[in-house]
């Protein structure tokens, strides 16, 4: 009886462990593997927008050495992560742990996630030493990037597609990268040319200029993060994006594009990457100045038009 | 429905005014929690109530209900008017069901998106209990309840009948 009580007490104590000290500063002391945040997908075990960090290593060389710590953070509507998953390599074996919380101002606590559940899923990345996400280079979509997205394979985006492969063997979602436009002009232009955004939530036709509209006739496409973000009191999460096709007098083909991508958590215009014509960058003042008025015209968080 | 034992009905009809005060203390399961960690899923909870027997089966009164936590996100605290119906009675034991309506603090944890809409929220509490009468005036038992379909609570119940005769 005493043994049972002790075992229960130990189990309860173990499942309430806070985040270990060596995990606390992962954002500054570890190497971030992915480039753009990894989008949520169907049956995502770490529901949310994810970033993955490797600690105690200088590069992404597989297999990882003993002592390597992999940290994955997942963020939902709120600005701060709600989940931190860790993988520690010791004696050539990974130990998996998950820490969660409900509110940004409370401590993470360890969950009762079993080793076998984690191992079973990560088995699919066995060839990559059980870690799906690889360090990404700057996304460089190829002309057939759309097709690559369909296959879930793209050498430059192995992080995202590998994550997808893990979670959606029977219901493949869109590649996360197809949900987040590149934030560099040339790469963005190539990405727009692939038409990947046309798989988003798009308006059915070209619309006449809207109130306070500065883009003439246009058609808006909202990515999943914008289209499915339900709470109108919260800012959009990192990765939220809109593409606006700009049209002249005829609707045959767009004459240009305006793109907005949320790149930092928060509710400021400086949290968005903006691109239109020769304007490009984070917090472009002319874009921010106008889009700040979006809530007055039925939009929110610097987005005028939300297509669902 | 089980008929009221004649002895209980007669006892209630002839007894002077009685007040029943009780307290239920236990653990609350936080159904809206998105965290899977035990400390975020289970919290201490309590209910303190005072009721008057209206009929042999029906008690009417009020209660304070709450989740006891230092974090304001989880701090559920409300005042409700409650009606308890004893649907199965014996001389020293009964099963009861309670419905209660009132208002209280609009805690974040009551919401699926973990965001409170306002400072005050309507509270609806449903409970079932099993209680014994001990030594004439004391009540002891167990109670399970749900508050706003967001907090499920189970715990021990202790009460006392003030006034009336034994």
For A117, the enclosing helix (H) or strand (E) is helix A115-122
Could you give the percent of chain B with pLDDT greater than 90? 82
- What the block records as the tokens of A273 is 């990457």
**Is the Cβ pair A100, B39 closer than 8 Å?**
no
The span from the CA of A292 to the CA of A15, in Å, is 44
Average pLDDT along chain A: 79
- Is A133:A60 a contact under the CB 8 Å cutoff? no
Question: Of the candidates A76, A101, A234, which has its C-beta nearest B40's C-beta?
Answer: A101
ipTM for the assembly = 0.84
**DSSP at B109:** G
- Number of neighbours of residue A271 by Cβ within 10 angstroms: 22
- Tell me the nearest-neighbour CA distance from B94 into chain A, angstroms: 32
- Number of neighbours of residue A308 by Cβ within 10 angstroms: 9
Is residue B94's pLDDT more than 70? yes
pLDDT tens, A197-222? 888 888 888 888 877 777 888 999 99
- What the block records as the tokens of B52 is 């008057």
**A156-160, A230-234, B32-36, B76-80: lowest mean pLDDT where?**
A156-160
Q: Is the peptide bond before A63 cis (omega within 30 degrees of 0)?
A: yes
Say what the pLDDT of residue A179 is: 86
Is residue B87's pLDDT more than 90? yes
- Tell me the nearest-neighbour CA distance from B150 into chain A, angstroms: 14
Q: Tokens 């593997």, residue?
A: A33
Say what the pLDDT of residue A176 is: 52
Question: Of the candidates B37, B71, B109, which has its C-beta nearest A111's C-beta?
Answer: B37
Is residue A278's pLDDT more than 90? no
**Is the Cβ pair A82, B39 closer than 8 Å?**
no
Average pLDDT estimate for B120-136: 96
- Is A213:A221 a contact under the CB 8 Å cutoff? no
Say what the pLDDT of residue A143 is: 27
Is residue A172's pLDDT more than 50? no
- What the block records as the tokens of A97 is 């742990």
Band of pLDDT at residue A6, cut at 50, 70 and 90: low
Say what the pLDDT of residue A142 is: 29
Question: Of the candidates B34, B71, B113, which has its C-beta nearest A82's C-beta?
Answer: B34
Neighbour-count burial of B133, counting CB atoms closer than 10 A to its CB (0-12 exposed, 13-18 middle, 19+ buried): middle
pTM (2 decimals)?
0.62
Say what the pLDDT of residue A247 is: 87
Average pLDDT estimate for B129-137: 94
Average pLDDT estimate for A32-54: 84
For B78, the enclosing helix (H) or strand (E) is strand B77-89
Residue of A13 and B157 predicted with greater confidence: B157
Average pLDDT estimate for A222-251: 85
Which residues from B are below 8 Å from A233, CB to CB? 115
Is residue B48's pLDDT more than 90? yes
Q: Which residue of B has its CA nearest to A12?
A: B38
Residue of B60 and A288 predicted with greater confidence: B60
Q: Establish if A44 touches chain B: CB-CB under 8 angstroms.
A: no
Q: Which residue of A has its CA nearest to B71?
A: A106
**DSSP at A179:** H
Q: Establish if A112 touches chain B: CB-CB under 8 angstroms.
A: yes
For B89, the enclosing helix (H) or strand (E) is strand B77-89
Is residue A76's pLDDT more than 50? yes
Sheet holding A256-262, edge to edge: A201-202, A217-222, A241-247, A256-262, A272-276, A279-282
Say what the pLDDT of residue A306 is: 87
Strand partners, A89: A94
Is residue A29's pLDDT more than 60? yes
Q: Which of A258, A276, A268 is nearest to A301 (CA)?
A: A268
Question: Of the candidates A100, A230, A233, which has its C-beta nearest B35's C-beta?
Answer: A100
Say what the pLDDT of residue A107 is: 93
Q: Helices H, strands E: what count in chain B?
A: 2, 8
Of the ranges A149-153, B10-14, B36-40, which is most confident? Answer: B36-40
Of the ranges A201-215, A251-265, B15-29, B138-152, which is most confident? Answer: B138-152
**A113-122, A140-149, A207-216: lowest mean pLDDT where?**
A140-149
pLDDT tens, A79-104? 689 999 999 999 999 999 999 999 98
**Is the Cβ pair A108, B38 closer than 8 Å?**
no
- What the block records as the tokens of A3 is 């043994």
**Is the Cβ pair B37, A100 closer than 8 Å?**
yes
Say what the pLDDT of residue A137 is: 53
- Is A257:A245 a contact under the CB 8 Å cutoff? yes
**Is the Cβ pair B71, A101 closer than 8 Å?**
no
CA B123 to chain CA mean position, Å? 13
User: HEC profile for A83-96?
Assistant: EEEEEEEECCEEEE
Strand partners, B120: B105
Say what the pLDDT of residue B17 is: 64
Average pLDDT estimate for B85-105: 96
Which residues from A are below 8 Å from B118, CB to CB? none
Is residue B16's pLDDT more than 70? no
Give me the half-sphere count of Cα atoms (radius 13 Å) on the Cβ side of residue A221: 21
């Amino acid at each position: 009886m005493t043994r049972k009580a002790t075992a229960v007490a130990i189990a309860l104590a173990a499942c309430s462990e806070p985040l270990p000290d060596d995990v606390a500063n992962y954002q500054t002391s570890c190497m971030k593997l992915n480039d753009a945040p990894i989008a949520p997908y169907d049956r995502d075990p770490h529901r949310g927008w994810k970033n993955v960090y490797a600690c105690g290593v200088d590069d992404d060389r597989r297999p990882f050495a003993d002592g390597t710590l992999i940290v994955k953070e997942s963020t939902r509507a709120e600005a701060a992560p709600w989940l931190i998953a860790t993988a520690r390599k010791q004696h050539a074996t990974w130990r998996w742990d998950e820490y969660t919380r409900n509110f940004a101002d409370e401590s993470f606590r360890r969950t009762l996630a079993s080793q076998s559940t984690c191992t079973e899923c990560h088995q699919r990345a066995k060839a990559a030493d059980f870690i799906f996400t690889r360090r990404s280079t700057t996304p460089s979509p190829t002309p057939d990037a759309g097709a690559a997205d369909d296959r879930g394979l793209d050498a430059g985006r192995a992080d995202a597609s590998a994550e997808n492969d893990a979670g959606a063997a029977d219901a493949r979602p869109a590649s996360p990268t197809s949900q987040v436009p590149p934030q560099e002009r040339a790469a963005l232009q190539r990405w727009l040319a692939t038409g990947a955004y046309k798989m988003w939530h798009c308006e059915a036709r070209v619309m006449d200029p809207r109130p306070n509209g500065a883009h003439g006739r246009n058609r808006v496409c909202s990515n999943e993060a914008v289209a499915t973000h339900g709470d109108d009191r919260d800012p959009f999460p990192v990765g939220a994006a809109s593409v606006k096709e700009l049209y002249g007098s005829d609707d045959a083909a767009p004459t240009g594009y305006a793109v907005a991508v949320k790149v930092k958590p928060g509710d400021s215009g400086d949290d968005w990457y903006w691109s239109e014509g020769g304007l490009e960058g984070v917090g472009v003042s002319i874009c921010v100045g106008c889009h700040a008025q979006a809530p007055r015209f039925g939009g929110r968080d610097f987005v005028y038009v939300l297509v669902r | 429905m089980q008929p009221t034992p004649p002895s209980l009905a007669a006892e209630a009809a002839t007894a002077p005014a009685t007040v029943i005060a009780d307290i239920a203390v236990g653990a609350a399961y936080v159904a809206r929690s998105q965290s899977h960690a035990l400390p975020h899923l289970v919290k201490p909870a309590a209910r303190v109530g005072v009721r008057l027997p209206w009929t042999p089966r029906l008690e009417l009164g009020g209660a304070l209900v709450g989740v006891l936590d230092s974090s304001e996100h989880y701090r559920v605290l409300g005042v409700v008017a409650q009606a308890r119906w004893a649907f199965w009675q014996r001389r020293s034991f009964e099963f009861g069901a309670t419905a209660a309506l009132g208002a209280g603090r609009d805690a974040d944890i009551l919401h699926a998106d973990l965001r409170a809409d306002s400072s005050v929220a309507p509270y609806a509490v449903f409970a079932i209990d099993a209680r014994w009468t001990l030594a004439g005036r004391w009540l002891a038992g167990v109670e399970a309840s749900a508050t706003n379909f967001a907090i499920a609570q189970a715990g021990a119940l202790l009460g006392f009948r003030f006034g009336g005769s034994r």
